[in-house]
Structure 1
């Protein structure tokens, strides 16, 4: 499944490969901290959450690795389960927009992060398309901070559309948007 995403001068070539993120959790959380601006305390709160997610049935993860094996991006997700915390938070927002059925038969992109030095090279696109290409579900859902950002632009270019906006997660300072796309994802730019 390795796909080459190199080609930018002064940065090493990168491939997208399956990885057991539990074995590389420190690296993944460092990338997330840099990409998302997390404090050390916020990273430590996420550590057991990520471990729990990766233990869920059907959870899968991929990493963007340099030719020296350095992890510079990752994605993980799983088939959605309405009993999961995320689903219980977003369900009322989706119900209010008539989009509640998106919680069924969907593959959730739980986390997708790329090291800031490696952003803008197509790594996020490569990670998300590779993981959803392996999903058995007919659609994918995710949540992203509800601002116009490169991440939201990427998701839209892949076919994701807003299903609910101004979604508030407990302890998150900013609102999120829930987005959904049919699978396979669009390969358009």
Structure 2
């Protein structure tokens, strides 16, 4: 049985090895990027209003296995992703629209489910759980700009494309920046 359990910054940092294992299984990044991603995740745990949920598979007598995780935080000026996306939105839509989306936003930083457990509604449930009760006016995220299961899920949950074909500084892959007003229905 899958259960969702909240974790604060300290537990998130303690469970980072398990988290990065799920990230690697789900995303299959080049091995040389894992240490950098782990460092980014550790930093995210220090951001304001950080919130994390683990999707755990409970066994009768042993410790549960983490099969998915999702986390986010309130984005603020001075954070790399926040500033890059705000600048991109301002260039495309104008400063007022960028402020409306990013001025008081909950940034969904990572949402991953181990491939053995995908397609069972875990990602959707984690997003709903993570966003429940948030006081921010919008939720924003980035995902690969191609027809993936994640992209379909976000669209199905009401996220709209704000910046398609977006390339982060120093990168080559195209992403889409998506957002939706909070609360989720």
Q: Compute the TM-score of the two structures, normalised by the length of structure 1.
A: 0.87
Structure 1 residue 21: Cα displacement: 1.5
Two-structure CA RMSD over aligned residues (Å)? 1.3
The answer to which of 84-93 and 168-177 deviates more is 168-177
Structure 1 residue 92: Cα displacement: 2.7
Q: State which of 88, 96, 100 in structure 1 corresponds to 2:98.
A: 100
Q: State which of 23, 37, 51 in structure 2 corresponds to 1:60.
A: 51
SS across alignment from 1:26 = helix
Q: State which of 34, 47, 61 in structure 1 corresponds to 2:38.
A: 47
CA offsets, 1:135-174, max 9 Å, x none?
Answer: 1112100011111111011001111000111211234331
**1:154 maps to what in 2?**
153
Give 4+ residue runs of structure 1 displaced > 4 Å after superposition: none
**Contact in 2 for aligned 1:90/1:167 (Cα 8 Å):** no
**2:27 maps to what in 1?**
36
The answer to which of 110-119 and 39-48 deviates more is 39-48
The answer to which of 88-97 and 75-84 deviates more is 88-97
Structure 2: gaps spanning 5 or more residues: none
**Contact in 2 for aligned 1:75/1:111 (Cα 8 Å):** yes
**Contact in 1 for aligned 2:58/2:65 (Cα 8 Å):** yes
Q: Compute the TM-score of the two structures, normalised by the length of structure 2.
A: 0.89
**2:69 maps to what in 1?**
74
**Contact in 1 for aligned 2:133/2:183 (Cα 8 Å):** no
Distance in 2 (alpha carbons) for counterparts of 1:37 and 1:171: 20
**1:4 maps to what in 2?**
none
- Structure 1 residues 123 and 160: alpha-carbon distance in aligned structure 2, compared to 1, 3 A threshold: same
Structure 1 residue 111: Cα displacement: 0.5
CA offsets, 1:23-45, max 9 Å, x none?
Answer: 11000000000100123321111
**Contact in 2 for aligned 1:82/1:103 (Cα 8 Å):** no
Structure 1: gaps spanning 5 or more residues: 1-12
